[in-house]
Amino acid sequence: MSATPLLKVEDLTITFHAHEKATVAASGVSYELNSGEVLAVVGESGSGKSVSALALTQLLPSAPTCVVSGKINLEGINLLSLSEKEISRYRGKVIAYIFQDPGTSLNPVYSVEFQIAEAIKIHRPEISDVHAAVIQSLNEVRIHEPEKVAQQYPHELSGGMQQRVMIAMALACNPRILVADEPTTALDVTIQKEIIDLLAHLCRERGMSILLITHNFGIVANFANQVIVMRHGKVVEAGTAQHVLENPTHPYTRGLIACIPRLGQKRHRLTTLPTDLS
């Protein structure tokens, strides 16, 4: 792995100031994302994993409410130093997001086609046949009858279909990095597998990098190349997925891996996280 990483995050620290109190959401977070690879960020709610992903394209509230320091380096450009106008060229086009809850991420009053077309018109003005591009992006996420789905509204689609539409929208602009913030938590296990397989396929085919945010090590095992484990805003463990899963060194990582119920290994009680972790 001698190649320079696509995205390099160094010493990212995020502090929220509210009610005359400072809360550190992430402190000293560093990681590297290589192109074509999947980096999983694992942690419980409140560990700072989503916040540090939102900071990539300055999606957090501005100062003084939220202070972000450190470096986010994308091919030699520090994303944190860009102005609002400059960063908006990166949002969606270079770094695209898909969120946990597709039901609330889609706009209920516009059709699927309108919403995907909007993203294409903004970020890829060179495309003349927008309709064809929309249908193509729906095809890529393996939606049957894309012509029909394009005319539908979010409430007419199931959760799995909504998430596919979200992915189609994110992919329509051909991003280099896809940030998937718990993309399958709201979905059934069977759909979860389909979505993960789809992301893995797109990652291979397009050489796209994925920053996968999750709390479930089960998904990490099947999908990620690299893993960082976050707790209370700090990275407690980092390494290749295989290494972290086989030899977790931090007790928190061990706890997270142990508490997943496994098929065919019936125990009397599920392991829970120890409360006295340092």
Partner 1 sequence: MSTPLLEVRNLSVDYPGRAHWFFQKSIPKRAVDNVSFTIPKGKTVGLVGESGSGKSTTGKSIIRLAPCTEGQILYEGVDIGNKSNRDFLPWRKKIQMIFQDPYNSLDPRSDVLGILSEPLEIHFPDLSKADREARCIDLLKKVKLPSEYLYRYPHEFSGGQRQRIGIARALAVEPSLIICDEPVSALDVSVQAEVVNLLQDLQEQLQLTYLFIAHDLAVVEHISDHILVMSQGKIVEAGTPAQILQNPKEEYTKTLLAAVPKLS
| Contacting residues toward partner 1, per CB under 8 A | 44-46, 158-159, 185, 188-193, 215-219, 221-222, 245, 255-257, 259-264, 266-267, 269-273
User: What would the two tokens of residue 15 be?
Assistant: 């502090």
The nearest distance, CB 216 to partner 1, in angstroms, is 5
The residue behind tokens 């009397």 is: 268
The beta strand positions in 19-151, using DSSP E, are: 21-33, 38-42, 66-74, 77-78, 95-98
Whose Cβ is closer to partner 1: residue 32's or residue 181's?
Answer: 181
The nearest distance, CB 5 to partner 1, in angstroms, is 26
Whose Cβ is closer to partner 1: residue 53's or residue 119's?
Answer: 53
Whose Cβ is closer to partner 1: residue 90's or residue 252's?
Answer: 252
Query: Which backbone phi and psi does 77 adopt, to 5 degrees?
Result: -110, 130
Whose Cβ is closer to partner 1: residue 27's or residue 162's?
Answer: 162
3-state helix, strand, coil in the chain (%, to 5): 35, 25, 40
The nearest distance, CB 131 to partner 1, in angstroms, is 28
Strand partners, 267: none
CA separation for the pair 250, 194 (Å, rounded): 31
The nearest distance, CB 125 to partner 1, in angstroms, is 39
Chain-centre distance for alpha carbon 271: 27
> For the residues of 255-273, what is the DSSP string, one character each?
HHHHTS--TT---SS----
CB atoms within 10 A of CB 97: 24
The nearest distance, CB 149 to partner 1, in angstroms, is 17
Whose Cβ is closer to partner 1: residue 90's or residue 99's?
Answer: 99
Cis previous bond, 154, omega within 30: no
Whose Cβ is closer to partner 1: residue 209's or residue 214's?
Answer: 214
The nearest distance, CB 36 to partner 1, in angstroms, is 21
